Structure 1
Amino acid sequence: MAGKITCYLDCVSPYSYFALLYLGNHREALESYNVDIDIIPVFLGGINVGSGNKPPWTLPAKAQYSSFDADRAKHYFGVPNLQTPSFFPILSLLPQRALVYIKSQHPQLFIPTFLDIFSAMWIRGLDVSKPELLSQVLSTRYTEPQTREILDQANSPTCKQTLNDNTKDALERGAFGCPWYWVQNSKGDEEPFFGSDRFHYMWKYLGLPFRDLELPVAGKAKI
């Protein structure tokens, strides 16, 4: 049994945060079945433009529903204090480009840093698109010279091009939002998946043993 999950995320998306938390909680189990996980920073704004999609808050019905859905999700994924910041949405190019550089130069710290950035924006209410605030977040894991280097390199042609290429790759694989996944199973077959509530479909596609949602008959529930 083997496979690979390529996951495209942007810090501007709370559902990307949920996805990264969930994959992290199941990383050991996935690795035990030889399923690799590759997290790819992308620019969600570019995906929306490239796919013709519109953010949910621009459509009144979606915006109204999202308030219910987001509240349910933040409790389910274990971040009940998550709140939409007053400055939302942000132009996420700087933090996403910084993550591109971190992934190439500090791979062991890439996912922890991604989680730091998510938490800073969605729990602490920091506008991580501002260099001085992103620097504050990065300084908890990196030395001052490393932090300066990350911010400098985030604006380099290489990181700009890599983020653009990542975003284009996601679009070519059908992306219209984040989190977006491209999954390859042990047979070599590949399919896309979308959202933070499709993991049971993903596990089935990968051929993994899992317990689906269970609803026992009243009075017969196992404690």
Structure 2
Amino acid sequence: MPEPIDFYFDYSSPYGYVAAHLIEPLAQRHIREVTWHPILLGPAMKLSGNTPMAGQPLKGAYMRQDVPRLCRRYRLPFTWPEPFPVATVAAVRATIWVGDRDPALAVRFAKALYRAYFGDGRNIGETEQVLAVAAETGLDAAALAAALQDPALKDRTRAAVDAALKLGVFGSPFFLVDEEPFWGVDRLPLMDEWLARGGW
């Protein structure tokens, strides 16, 4: 089997939300699995000198028009959540904890968190909302709540973010295909062609 596609995403990224619905059908066309990597973009932005697009003049306004248009195109439920963006530390830690135990369930959980935020407008920056989504996904919310207080999980999350930075990940969504990087949901057609042709 070919190596999986590595999918890096931040839960505050609306483009990551769109990519989360598109990456698996693309991978299946090429007989690939997808490895989901929740990350925190704050350290990457600090390293690269970038700032959240929502707060940037011109770009922020464009994003406000572009994301709903993308979601209409792909028939994805969408609402601009308030507040936006949010700190997603609890969501990332929770997803990593689930993924260490059941990767397939972690993917379902990740999709549910994205849907809760960008589909339903729920503030997943709040730990209580993360735990509520976990319960709705069939997870043991009490066990997860306890795990979120564990220093070992905090260290595990920090190590995952550091590992992504070392690989050159700086945005969301970000993909690695056989060590070839692709940044942005708009690069999915290019990645599709790359896989079909074996690169160029």
Is TM more than 0.5 here? yes
For 1:78 and 1:199, the matched residues in 2 are separated by: 17
Identity rate, percent = 25
Equivalent residues of 1:51, 1:171 under 8 A apart: no
For 1:67 and 1:126, the matched residues in 2 are separated by: 18
| Aligned positions of 1:12-161 closer than 5 A | 12-31=12-31, 35-79=32-76, 81-142=77-138, 146-161=140-155
**1:139 partner SS:** helix
Q: 2:186 is matched with which residue? A: 197
For 1:166 and 1:43, the matched residues in 2 are separated by: 9
Q: Which runs of 4+ in 1 moved over 6 A?
A: none
- Aligned residue pair count: 198
**How far does residue 15 in structure 1 lie from its aligned partner after superposition?**
0.9
More helix by share: 2
Render the CA deviation track for 1:8-42: whole Å, top value 9, x for unaligned.
112111111111110133343232xxx23111111
Q: 1:178 is matched with which residue? A: 172
For 1:24 and 1:4, the matched residues in 2 are separated by: 11
Render the CA deviation track for 1:82-126: whole Å, top value 9, x for unaligned.
122121111100011000000011222111110110111112111
One-letter code aligned to 1:22 = L
Give the 3 Å change call, closer, same or farther, for CA 59–129 of structure 1 in structure 2: closer
**How far does residue 205 in structure 1 lie from its aligned partner after superposition?**
2.4
For 2:94 and 2:184, the matched residues in 1 are separated by: 24
For 2:28 and 2:5, the matched residues in 1 are separated by: 14
Q: 1:7 is matched with which residue? A: 7
Render the CA deviation track for 1:21-70: whole Å, top value 9, x for unaligned.
10133343232xxx231111111222212222111122111012112211
For 1:141 and 1:115, the matched residues in 2 are separated by: 10
Match of 2:159 among 165, 173, 178: 165
Give the 3 Å change call, closer, same or farther, for CA 139–52 of structure 1 in structure 2: same
For 1:4 and 1:135, the matched residues in 2 are separated by: 29
**2:172 partner SS:** coil
Equivalent residues of 1:3, 1:206 under 8 A apart: no
Give the 3 Å change call, closer, same or farther, for CA 204–25 of structure 1 in structure 2: closer
The gaps in structure 1 that reach 5 residues or longer are 185-189, 210-223
For 2:100 and 2:170, the matched residues in 1 are separated by: 26
TM-score (norm 2): 0.90
